[in-house]
Structure 1
Amino acid sequence: MTHPAHPTYRIGQIVPSSNVTMETEIPAILRARESIAPERFTFHSSRMRMTHVTPEQLKAMDADSDRCAVELSDARVDVLGYACLVAIMSMGLGYHRTSEERLHTRTAENGAPAPVVTSAGALVHGLNTLGAKKIALIAPYMRPLTKTVVDYLTHEGIEVLDYTALEIPDNLDVAAHDPARLPGLARALDHSDADAVVLSACVQMPSLGALEEAEQLLGKPVVSAAVCTAHQMLRALDLPAVAPGAGHLLSGAFAHGEPPAVR
């Protein structure tokens, strides 16, 4: 059996209607990967209605995710990413497992079973992959929703030593936040005992271009929810999770999901 020189994978994303970042950062990460590896990717989205990051809109939006999973499975995508971290986390502790299983079932019922990655689950998975038990993070959400994120991660065994809530209620304003501000905001956190720093605990707040600067500034691994999502998508496709310019998690040290070396 012959294999094409450049196998192509279809990347599906379930995206809040006002999200304009995951359809730029995930392709940017995977296009960078194309410069060093043979695989190629195409990108396909289905949208759930959401304009303001409130518990009410998040709950209504999550109910729409089943329709999106079915639509994307019509396109026979190879992996699905649920591109809203706080929507999952606001539905209850550990909910990413419920969502991933349910949405995978929707694709299977449609005759096109595909693995499902949620950005919430991917952040947990990425931090565990790094061996990060203590972190500091930046989130754009209002303070109560940011506390929801902190409680969710705490429940998963990850201690949040310090965090900043930027309190930006409008989702398009979140996308407009200047990523160049993030390294300075990260440096202001109490991060000295942190194993890693989450530069953006939100897939709408852009941070990809600032990740490696923040790693140099802080001297420790820096991730974002988007980078963690890309890492888990690649592993779900059984591909080496590596991409240049996306920080330590995608540097190649964790290309196959192996645990970090014991120091």
Structure 2
Amino acid sequence: MDKASFRIGQIVPSSNTTMETEIPAILQASSAASGAHFTFHSSRMRMKHVTREELAAMDADSDRCALELSDAHVDVMGYACLVAIMSMGKGYHRESERRLHQRTIENGAAAPVVTSAGALIEGLGVIGAKKIAVITPYMKPLTQLVVDYIEAEGVEVQDRVALEIQDNIAVGRRDPMALVEIASGLDLANVDALVLSACVQMPSLAAIPVVEAKLGVPVISAAACTAFRMLQSLNLPAKAPGAGELLSGRYTDVLPTGLIGETL
């Protein structure tokens, strides 16, 4: 590590209220392992309702956000909408990460780019998960798109819950501890992991250690995976207490794969 302070850029849907709380909480908790200090900087894309049409329009605005954040010379960027990426077609996170990283290069301030969609796929690979259960706040058709996207990456989704909340503000206002009961109703027989929130807007961080202890399965979330990939890109120990299996410290020596513009 060649410096102790890092600028974290976040490309955020305009109605998202959770990415700017959970990601900072995880990264600040990780500082005990690294001594690093973080500042957080956001650029927003318009989106109020989680529909395929609004998601596509929002994604088209992500290039502007990458340029704005690179004006601040951030050290890493996180794209904070998993379903926007996954609804654009299988494997799209790779294209998005390449394109947005290229925008930072063109602006003279190259920064690695993490999408929450790509981070979830990578996180499942790191812990060796081949069969999972998933909780989403999305409508059932969008949840099916998420399931199809994950399965196209070689991971079987054994069970899923779609909470069918279209209003993105309502998603962000959910009590994370409500996920404890929801998770208990899933079929977790022989799963390798539970994705407690496949959405960086649906709060889940407080529930992760509770569900992990209660159900005895590794628990991750889109936000925890995003934080893991950010820490990897900054060459910092990918470890944070209370953030689930991926950030438990068991995977701090795993090298990043597939992250566009990583600095290792």
- Interval of TM-score (by shorter of Structure 1 and Structure 2): over 0.9
Is the contact between residue 129 and residue 258 of structure 1 (CA under 8 Å) also seen in structure 2? no
What is aligned with 1:99? 96
What is aligned with 1:130? 127
Is the contact between residue 33 and residue 237 of structure 2 (CA under 8 Å) also seen in structure 1? no
What letter is aligned with 2:202?
A: M
Deviations 1:5-36 (A, max 9, x none): xx101000000000000000000001111234
Task: Quote the Cα distance in structure 2 between the aligned partners of 1:26 and 1:167.
Answer: 24
Task: Quote the Cα distance in structure 2 between the aligned partners of 1:83 and 1:230.
Answer: 11
What is aligned with 1:211? 208
Secondary structure of the structure 2 residue equivalent to 1:253 = coil
Task: Quote the Cα distance in structure 2 between the aligned partners of 1:93 and 1:30.
Answer: 29
What is aligned with 2:57? 60
Task: Quote the Cα distance in structure 2 between the aligned partners of 1:159 and 1:258.
Answer: 24
Is the contact between residue 133 and residue 157 of structure 1 (CA under 8 Å) also seen in structure 2? yes
What is aligned with 1:85? 82
Report 1:1-263 matches (<5 A): 7-257=4-254
Task: Quote the Cα distance in structure 1 between the aligned partners of 2:98 and 2:57.
Answer: 19
Task: Quote the Cα distance in structure 2 between the aligned partners of 1:242 and 1:14.
Answer: 23
Residue 198 of structure 1, CA deviation: 0.3
Task: Quote the Cα distance in structure 1 between the aligned partners of 2:31 and 2:232.
Answer: 16
Identity of aligned residues (%): 66
Residue 247 of structure 1, CA deviation: 1.1
Residue 37 of structure 1, CA deviation: 2.6
Task: Quote the Cα distance in structure 2 between the aligned partners of 1:36 and 1:244.
Answer: 10
Residue 238 of structure 1, CA deviation: 1.5
Task: Quote the Cα distance in structure 2 between the aligned partners of 1:227 and 1:212.
Answer: 12
What is aligned with 2:259? none
What is aligned with 2:261? none
What letter is aligned with 1:199?
A: L
What letter is aligned with 2:247?
A: L
Task: Quote the Cα distance in structure 1 between the aligned partners of 2:149 and 2:97.
Answer: 16
**C-alpha RMSD of the superposition:** 1.3
Is the contact between residue 132 and residue 156 of structure 2 (CA under 8 Å) also seen in structure 1? yes
Residue 258 of structure 1, CA deviation: 5.9
Deviations 1:220-250 (A, max 9, x none): 1100000000001111111110111111110
Is the contact between residue 33 and residue 239 of structure 2 (CA under 8 Å) also seen in structure 1? no
Is the contact between residue 235 and residue 256 of structure 1 (CA under 8 Å) also seen in structure 2? no
Is the contact between residue 121 and residue 150 of structure 2 (CA under 8 Å) also seen in structure 1? yes
Is the contact between residue 136 and residue 162 of structure 1 (CA under 8 Å) also seen in structure 2? yes
Secondary structure of the structure 1 residue equivalent to 2:34 = coil
